[in-house]
Amino acid sequence: MKVCVVGTGYVGLTTGVSLAFLGHEVTCVDLDQAKVDMLTAGRCPIYEPGMEELLAEAAPNLTFTTSYADAVPGADVVFVAVQTPSADDGSPDLRYLRSAAESVAQALNNDFTVVVNKSTVPIGSGNWVDAILRDSFEQRADRPAGVEFAVASNPEFLREGNAIADTLYPDRIVIGSDNPRSLEVLNRLYRPIINQTFTPPAFLTRPEDVNAVPLVSTDLASAELIKYAANAFLALKISYANEIGQLAAKVGADITEVARGMGLDQRIGSRFLQPGVGWGGSCFGKDTKALIATAGEYNLEMPIVKAARDVNQRQRAIAVERLQDELRILKGRKIGLLGLAFKPNTDDLRDAPALDIANSLIARGARVKLHDPVASERFRTEQPELAAYLTSTIDELFADCDAVVLVTEWAQYLELDWSKFVGLMRTPIVLDGRHVLDADRMRRLGYRYLAVAG
C-alpha cells in the first residue's frame, strides 16, 4: 500500500521505516531539510538502537521529502506524527497538527485516504482534524472530484530505546474510527504485524511468545482515550512503587523485594514497578498533564493522576534530601551524577530526573560533575548552562567526589568495575537512584550504599 508519514520524530520515523520494511511504499515528509538530507543519506537524526540498520533494509521502499505534494497524492494512508508540545496550561499545543492537516488537505487526490492521528492528541482531536481537513479541502481552487477521506486514530505505544521492537512486535494495535472503510484499510496495512507474517530483521528476532497481535478496533474517542489511560496507568504504577518505597524505608523493608512479591501476582504484573528517581521523558509528564487538562474541561478532577505526578516530582527531591541527610552540608561538596538521559538507550533529555537533581544540588551550593555515555553531546547543546560540568571519563567523574548518584541505569554503569573507583572518591558514598546495584556487594567493596527509596 502507499503510505505518507508527516513528521520524522521518534513516532513518525519509526512508523515510516517499519512500514517500508514490511513492504509498503512509504514517503516521509518533514519540513526540516537538514533532517531529510540526513535520512536520505541513511543516517538517523535520533539515537535509537537498530534504526539505521532498519533504514538500510527498508531503503528501496522509503523516500524522504520536504514537499507534501511529493508525498500525499496517491497515498492510501497519511499518518500525521508531528510534535504536540505542552502549552503553559498543560494542554497540548496543536499548532503543528493544524498546519500539517491543512497541508495534507491541499494535496489529497486519492479516491479514498485515511488520515491517521498518530501524534498523542487530546481526546476529540479526531473530529477537530476532520473539520480542518474538510475546510481546507473545500477552499482548494484545484479541488479534484471523487476524493474522499476519513480520520482515524492509531495511538503509538512505543518506548524510546525499544521503538522498533515495540512497533514490529506490539502488545496490541489500537485503531479508532467512526468510518468502517478506514478500519478496513488500516487492518490491511497492519496485517503483516497482526498475523506476524513478515521475516524479522536480522538484528531483531521475533520473541517466542509473539505469534499474533490483538487488534482493538473501536471508535475515535475510545482510541484516543486508550492512549492517555494506558500511559497514565504506567506512570502511576511507577509512582505507586515509589510511594510504597518511602514507607518501606521507614519500616525497614526492602522495596525491591516488595515490588517483586507484588509483581508476581499476574493481576499486577512485574513491569513498571522499578522504584527510584521516577519517570521522565516526553510522554508520561505531558500525557498525565493533558489528561488532567481534558478532565478539567468537563469539571472533572483526576486525583489519582495528580497524585502520581506529585509523587514522581517528590522522588527527585528525595534524592537530594538523602544526600543532604548523609553529608549534612551540601555546600562545597562534589557530587557526581552517572547518567543524564531520562532512561538508558536514548539520548533524550526531556524531563530527565538528572536535570532537576543537578539544578537542585547546584542551588544548594554543591559542585556537580555529570556523565552520560550517549547523551553528552545533546546535553551540551540543550543545556549550555550545565555543559561545563560534564566529564569525559568515568574516572574523572568519581575523582574527589563526596558522593556519586546513579541516575540512569545504563548497562555501561552496571557493568563497571566498581572496585576501581572507591579509592578515587573523597567519601565513597553511592546513591542508587534506580535500585539496580547489588547493595551487599557495594558495601563489601567499601562503599556507603544508599537508595532513593527503601
* Active site positions, annotated: 283
Residues 339-368 as x/- pattern, contact with ligand UDX by CB under 6 A:
---xx-------------------------
Closest CA to 26 of 68, 67, 59: 59
Question: Which of 76, 156, 402, 432 contacts ligand UDX by CB under 6 A?
Answer: 156
Smallest distance from the beta carbon of 59 to ligand UDX, in angstroms? Answer: 26
Using rule CB under 6 A, residue 383 touches ligand UDX: no
Question: Which of 2, 98, 134, 159 contacts ligand UDX by CB under 6 A?
Answer: 159
* Phi and psi torsions of 225, nearest 5°: -75, -30
Which CB, 182 or 239, lies closer to ligand UDX?
A: 239
Question: Which of 14, 15, 119, 231 contacts ligand UDX by CB under 6 A?
Answer: 231
Using rule CB under 6 A, residue 137 touches ligand UDX: no
Using rule CB under 6 A, residue 272 touches ligand UDX: yes
Which CB, 15 or 110, lies closer to ligand UDX?
A: 15
Smallest distance from the beta carbon of 351 to ligand UDX, in angstroms? Answer: 8
Smallest distance from the beta carbon of 394 to ligand UDX, in angstroms? Answer: 20
Size of the site for ligand UDX (CB under 6 A): 20
Question: Which of 79, 228, 279, 413 contacts ligand UDX by CB under 6 A?
Answer: 279
Smallest distance from the beta carbon of 412 to ligand UDX, in angstroms? Answer: 16
Closest CA to 149 of 98, 78, 67, 69: 78
Question: Which of 48, 160, 224, 243 contacts ligand UDX by CB under 6 A?
Answer: 160
Which CB, 322 or 334, lies closer to ligand UDX?
A: 322
Binding piece for ligand UDX, criterion CB under 6 A, among 101-109, 183-191, 274-282, 419-427: 274-282
Using rule CB under 6 A, residue 122 touches ligand UDX: no
Q: Do 309 and 288 form a contact (C-beta atoms < 8 A)?
A: yes
Using rule CB under 6 A, residue 158 touches ligand UDX: yes
Closest CA to 418 of 392, 396, 444: 444
Smallest distance from the beta carbon of 364 to ligand UDX, in angstroms? Answer: 23
Smallest distance from the beta carbon of 108 to ligand UDX, in angstroms? Answer: 28
Angle at 248 between CA 449 and CA 360, to 5 degrees: 55
Which CB, 201 or 344, lies closer to ligand UDX?
A: 344
Using rule CB under 6 A, residue 16 touches ligand UDX: no
Angle at 214 between CA 213 and CA 218, to 5 degrees: 140
Which CB, 72 or 226, lies closer to ligand UDX?
A: 226
Which CB, 272 or 389, lies closer to ligand UDX?
A: 272
Question: How far is the C-alpha of 323 from the C-alpha of 201, rounded, in Å?
Answer: 46
Smallest distance from the beta carbon of 112 to ligand UDX, in angstroms? Answer: 28
Question: What are 142's three cell numbers?
Answer: 484545484
Give SS3 for 305. Answer: helix
Grid cell 521475516 is found at 199
Which CB, 110 or 408, lies closer to ligand UDX?
A: 408
Using rule CB under 6 A, residue 234 touches ligand UDX: yes
Angle at 93 between CA 91 and CA 97, to 5 degrees: 130
Which CB, 40 or 270, lies closer to ligand UDX?
A: 270
Question: Which of 107, 238, 258, 292 contacts ligand UDX by CB under 6 A?
Answer: 238
Q: Do 179 and 152 form a contact (C-beta atoms < 8 A)?
A: yes
Tally of CB atoms within 10 A around 332: 9
Closest CA to 351 of 361, 362, 340: 340
Using rule CB under 6 A, residue 281 touches ligand UDX: yes
Considering just the CA atoms, what is the radius of gyration of the chain in Å?
24
Smallest distance from the beta carbon of 94 to ligand UDX, in angstroms? Answer: 19
Helix, strand, coil tally for the chain in percent (to 5): 45, 15, 40
Q: Show contacts of 21-24: CB within 8 Å, 24+ apart.
A: 21/54, 21/57, 21/58, 21/61, 21/168, 21/198, 21/201, 22/192, 22/193, 22/198, 23/61, 23/192, 23/198, 24/61, 24/189
Give SS3 for 150. Answer: strand
H or E stretch at 429: strand 429-432
Question: How far is the C-alpha of 202 from the C-alpha of 391, rounded, in Å?
Answer: 36
Using rule CB under 6 A, residue 157 touches ligand UDX: yes
Question: Which of 16, 126, 276, 339 contacts ligand UDX by CB under 6 A?
Answer: 276
Single-letter code of the amino acid located at 193 = I
Question: Which of 16, 176, 280, 285 contacts ligand UDX by CB under 6 A?
Answer: 280
H or E stretch at 167: helix 163-168
Question: How far is the C-alpha of 357 from the C-alpha of 342, rounded, in Å?
Answer: 12
Q: Using CB under 6 A, list all residues that contact ligand UDX.
A: 156-160, 231, 234, 238, 272-274, 276, 278-281, 283-284, 342-343
